[in-house]
Chains A and B, each alone.
Chain A
Amino acid sequence: MTGQVLERETFGHLFAELNKMGFTLIGPTVRDKTIVYDELHSVDELPIGWTDEQDGGSYRLRRRDDEALFGYVVGSQSWKKYLFPPRSVLFEIGKVGDALTFSEPERSSQPRAFIGVRACELAAIKIQDQVFLGSGHVDRTYQHNREEIFTVAVNCAVAGGTCFCVSMETGPECNAGYDLVVTEVIDEGIHEFVIEAGSDAGQKVLAALPGRPAVDEDQAHVAAIVADTAAHMGRTLNTSSVREVLYAGRESTHWDDVAEVCLACTNCTLVCPTCFCSTTEDVASLDGSTATRSRRWDSCFSLEFSALHGSPVRSSTKARYRQWMTHKLAGWQDQFGSSGCVGCGRCITWCPVGIDITKTTAAIRADSEVLG
């Protein structure tokens, strides 16, 4: 498929075209000194001229010396909040006399365009598709939210301090799972966007945009940008036999080292774009005629998570951290045929004490090599 190149001045046409097609636009914007995802009405709401500096337990927005629209990496939020919302209704119950009726919540059509989806996030969405749609049962809420999404992916031109998508083979280049993919090119007076389609729907949008056809030189720019990002990953994670290494390392003393600093605050699971655990809540109306059963995000770091007959199976922080990391990198492979980690680095950045999944994995690996 031939790409199109839009100038900075005409980039707004993409938004206008998607609006015209009936999509609500959702994308990155600056709020509370971070980049969040929210409804967008114009290109001006993008994080223009901002970038983010990230390290273990540290996130700061900084001014760039240009006016890049996508010159940042990822914020704490992911697209998970739209597809697998923090709260959703499972079923509603009506009570008349002794009789009970059970019904699904009403779900209305909601065409949405996701703007600025990174390669690691495409991978995360693919993983949650597998969890909620591809493992024998279908989650109705997720299925509904996943319909009518137009995905505008963006290739990363910068790597964050906690990024390791290269290790997880999920990025930085977007390869599949998008309708359009955008690469922002800023170079000596040039500020343009190379846009390619990944679906028929994307092709249709692309054809309506007032760009010039992409030429070899544009493709070369894209390749150079992606290669440069790949070369500047903030972290690496050795994935070789990581499943076996972690299963064998269940009793490693490094879990104790992590547990000494881990606050079991649940931040890592909430910012993780693939973590899918939830708990349930029941609310009955005051007159006792209706009740609602909902689910909300839960975390394997909370003590009640594993409670059996009132006492938790995993009462120590060590066991809970081990569960989370072993599941993410090892158990996930058994359950869903892929790693549960996409290398976005959020769990490292947003950990208040900077616990680093790449370092813990390396430590457990070192142990297993010593032990043979």
Chain B
Amino acid sequence: MKLDTWRAGRDLLADLSANEIEFLESVASEVTFSKGAVIFEEDDVADTFYILQEGTVGLELTTPGKPPVVIQTLGSGDLLGVSWALPPYSWTWRARSLTDTTLIAFDAVKVRERCEVDFRLAHQILRLIAREAIRRLTGARVRLLDLYHHEAR
């Protein structure tokens, strides 16, 4: 799956070398999910990660007596999946297509194997994950403040 055919998220890999991109292309393929489909399930083995091309994905947790709670949505250009990079390689959230979605799927097992021997690639990938994780953490922290509730301002 060639990078120049991607519709979104190319900037996520802006710091990677041509070799590194070529490797990622070799383990990438396009996948689609219809609205409502589960992309991955809580606690399942995390052996794939994605870059969203089109549509919206919700990260959910199930809770008794209620519909699943969507805690965060991801859209085109976003990285989907972080838990694949660190043991125990299992998903924390359920990812569900809230619309019809198109994603680029990466074979996380092959990426992990390659990272064991290619430290520069490992460094780049972990940097990408860290940056996205920090952005989401900041977003979650700010949401905790309940800013738009006037008594909290």
Contact = CB atoms under 8 A, between A and B. Distances in A.
Q: Tell me, yes or no, whether A and B come into direct contact in the complex with CB atoms closer than 8 A.
A: yes
Interface of A: 308-310
Contacts of B150: 309
A308 B152 CA distance: 11
A314 to B, nearest CB: 15
A309 B150 CA distance: 7
B153 interface: yes
Interface string B117-153: 0000000000000000000000000000000001101
Interface residues of B, number: 3
A310 B150 CA distance: 10
Interface of B: 150-151, 153
Contacts of A309: 150-151, 153
B23 to A, nearest CB: 48
A162 B138 CA distance: 51
Contacts of B153: 308-309
B4 to A, nearest CB: 50
5 contacts: A308-B153, A309-B150, A309-B151, A309-B153, A310-B151
Nearest to A310: B151
Contacts of B151: 309-310
Nearest to A308: B153
A79 B150 CA distance: 42
B146 to A, nearest CB: 14
Nearest to B150: A309
A32 to B, nearest CB: 45
A260 B151 CA distance: 29
A309 B151 CA distance: 8
Contacts of A308: 153
A97 B150 CA distance: 35
Report the 5 A-B pairs with minimum CB-CB distance, sorted nearest first: A309-B150, A309-B153, A308-B153, A309-B151, A310-B151
A271 B105 CA distance: 72
B1 to A, nearest CB: 51
A366 B151 CA distance: 40
A308 B151 CA distance: 10
A310 B151 CA distance: 8
Contacts of A310: 151
B82 to A, nearest CB: 37
A309 B147 CA distance: 13
A308 B150 CA distance: 10
A310 B153 CA distance: 10
A309 B149 CA distance: 11
A278 B150 CA distance: 26
A307 to B, nearest CB: 12
B147 to A, nearest CB: 12
A111 to B, nearest CB: 51
A310 B149 CA distance: 13
A371 B28 CA distance: 54
A228 to B, nearest CB: 57
A258 B153 CA distance: 28
B151 to A, nearest CB: 8
B153 to A, nearest CB: 6
B152 to A, nearest CB: 10
A233 to B, nearest CB: 47
Nearest to B153: A309
B150 to A, nearest CB: 5
A20 to B, nearest CB: 62
